[in-house]
Amino acid sequence: MEVQIISKETVKPSSSTPQHLRTYNLSLLDQLAPPVYIPIILFYSATGEISCKKSHLLKTSFSETLTHFYPFAGRMKDCFSIDCNDEGAPYVEAHVAGDMSTILQEPDIHQLEKLLPCNPHDVSPEVSSQVIVAAQVNYFDCGGMAVSVCIWHAIADASAVASFLTSWAAIARGATDEIEGVIFDCTSLFPPQDMRSFSLHNFLKEDLLSKIMLKRFLFDSSKLADLREEVGNGPCLERPTRVEAVAALIWGAVMAADGEENQNETAEINAATISVGLRKRMIPPLPKLSIGNAYQVAMANFSKKEKQLNYNGLAGKLHESIGKMNNDYVRKIHAGGGYFQFLRTKGEELGKNPNLMKVFGFSSWCRFPFYEADFGWGKPNWVGTALTLYKVAILIDTKDGQGIEAWVSLPKEDMVKFEQNPGICAYASFKLST
C-alpha cells in the first residue's frame, strides 16, 4: 500500500478564541497521562460524493470544530496549562494506492501507521511547540476513505477523542446544536501537582518499544457470549461484562506467557490496571463531551501465593476494583493530593524492588461513540488504532457493539506464547506471527 501526500496545511479555528479563554488549565489526571498521541482511524465505504466536495466539507467543518474545542488549536505552555493561541492544527490529505478492503480484512499496524498524520510517539523537544491535534484524510483508489486524528493525551482521553470526532461529524452535517459542555475545568476535583522528577511511563521508553509487537485479537459477538458464560461459571462473579470477560482472559494468558518465559523471575504480585471513566460516575456527572482526562486507573492484584489461576477469579478481582470507582471513593483518594503521594511512594517502592510487581494495563474504549461519526455519507465501516505501548491492551467495540477488538502490545517472545494460549485460540480470531 502506497500513501502519497496530496496537501498539508495548518487549519485554524473559524473564530478567534476570546482573550479571557486563552489559558486552559490541566488537572492531575491530565498530567499523569502518557506523553503520546491517541490515534484513531475511521474507515468509510465509497459513496457517490465527489472527493473535492468531501475535501472542502471536511476542512471547513474541521476549522469550525476547533472553535468549539479551542484548546486543541493551541500549544502546550508548560506541565500546568495550554496556551489557547489559535496556532492551528496540521491537516493532511493523502491518496492511497490500494484497495481499502485489504486493510479491513487483515489490519496491519505498519499499514495503519501510514494513514496517520503523525507518529503517536512524536514528542516535541520544546514543550511550547507540542502540537495538540493533527488530522489526515486518506482517499483510496476504490472510492473509500479513512479519516484519522492524533490527539495529545495530556488534553484528551479516548472519550474526549470520540467527542471531538462525533462533533466534527455533526458540524459537517450541520447539526451544531448537539455540541455543548466541551470545556470543563477539572482542576478543583483533581488539583495539578509538581511533576518534576516523577514518571510512571517506563512502558514508553524506546529501548522497550523496539522489542514490542502490537496485534489485533477479534472477539466476535458469538465467541464473546461463550466466553462470558465460561468466565461467569464460578463463585467470584456470576455475570461478567464483555470487558471483564475479555480482560480476564487476556490477563491470565499474559501471566501464563510471562511465567513460562521467566520461570526464575516470578514477581510477588501480578497486577492488572484498567482505566475507568469518571464522567458518569461523579456527582454531579461531568459533561459528556468534555475534553481532558476523566478516568481513574483501577488495579487488581494476583499474588503468587494464590496457586489457582482461573478466569472467574480474575474477572472477580477486576470487577471489584472497577466497582470501587464511585464519586465518594474518587473524591476521597484525591483529597489533599493523596493520590499523587500514593503514586510517588509506589513508584519509589518499585524502583527499589523491580520484582515486587509486574503490571499489565487495559484501556477500554468500549461504548465510546466512534461508530456514530457520520459526516454525511454514512457511519464508519470499521474503527482502528495504531498505538504501541508496553504490556497494554486497548479494547474497542466491534461495529455491532457486541464484540470486542483487543489491540495487545507484548514483547515479541511473550506474544508467541500468548498466541498459543488455549483460551486465546478458542475465543479470539487473529493472524499468527511469522
How would you classify residue 292: left for phi > 0, otherwise alpha for psi between -120 and 50, otherwise beta? Answer: left
| Residue-wise DSSP of 183-205 | ----TTTS-----TT----GGG-
Question: DSSP strand E in 124-211: where?
Answer: 133-140, 145-152
Q: How far is CA 215 from CA 191, 282, 359, 388, in A?
A: 36, 34, 19, 9
Nearest to 305 by CA among 260, 268, 265, 256: 268
pLDDT, position 264: 45
pLDDT, position 251: 97
pLDDT, position 296: 95
Cis status of the peptide bond prior to 284, with omega within 30 of 0: yes
Q: How many CB atoms lie within 10 A of CB 141?
A: 12
| Residue-wise DSSP of 44-71 | E---SS-HHHHHHHHHHHHHHHHHHTGG
pLDDT, position 106: 87
Give yes or no: 153 in active site. yes
pLDDT, position 1: 86
pLDDT, position 201: 54
Q: How far apart are CA 430 and CA 433, in angstroms?
A: 9
Select which of 83, 86, 108, 374 is catalytic.
374
Give yes or no: 319 in active site. no
Select which of 68, 153, 319, 334 is catalytic.
153
H or E, element range at 244: helix 242-261
Instruction: Please state the φ and ψ torsions of residue 430, each to the nearest 5 degrees.
Output: -165, 165
Residues of the chain below pLDDT 70? 48-51, 199-207, 259-267, 307, 434
- Interacting residues of 26 by C-beta distance below 8 A, sequence separation 6+: 79, 80, 81, 82, 154, 155, 187, 192, 292
Nearest to 416 by CA among 428, 398, 395, 433: 433
Q: How far apart are CA 287 and CA 358, in angstroms?
A: 35
8 Å CB contact between 73 and 88 = yes
- Local structure of residue 285 (DSSP, 8 states): P
Stated pTM of the model: 0.94
Cell of 159: 472519550
